[in-house]
């Protein structure tokens, strides 16, 4: 099952950035993890939703 979280981070100059962490777990074990940093929270949220759907679609599609 894929899920994502967004973490607010403070840069050295005082501005904020947002890190989207995508994690895939199977039987309570992490089988895939990735993260990407964005300047806006909404961009991070869109990325998280998109990657979550992509990963779920890959898992549900039959592999040959």
**Residues 31-42 pLDDT 10s:** 999 999 999 999
Q: Would you place residue 62 in the very low, low, confident or very high pLDDT band (cuts 50, 70, 90)? A: low
Domain interval for residue 30: 2-60
Number of domains the chain is built from: 1
| Averaged pLDDT score across all residues of the chain | 93
Could you tell me if 41 and 17 are in contact, meaning their C-beta atoms sit under 8 angstroms apart? no
Looking up tokens 């973490």 gives: 7
Looking up tokens 């777990």 gives: 25
Of 58, 63, 64, the C-alpha closest to 31 is 58
For the cut 60, the answer to whether the pLDDT of residue 23 exceeds it is yes
Q: What percent of the chain has pLDDT over 90?
A: 84
């Amino acid at each position: 099952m894929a899920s994502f979280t967004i973490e607010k981070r403070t840069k050295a100059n005082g501005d904020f950035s947002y890190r989207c962490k995508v994690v895939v777990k199977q039987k309570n074990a992490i089988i895939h993890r990735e993260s990407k940093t964005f300047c806006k929270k909404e961009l991070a949220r869109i990325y998280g939703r998109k990657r979550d759907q992509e990963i779920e679609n890959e898992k549900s599609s039959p592999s040959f």
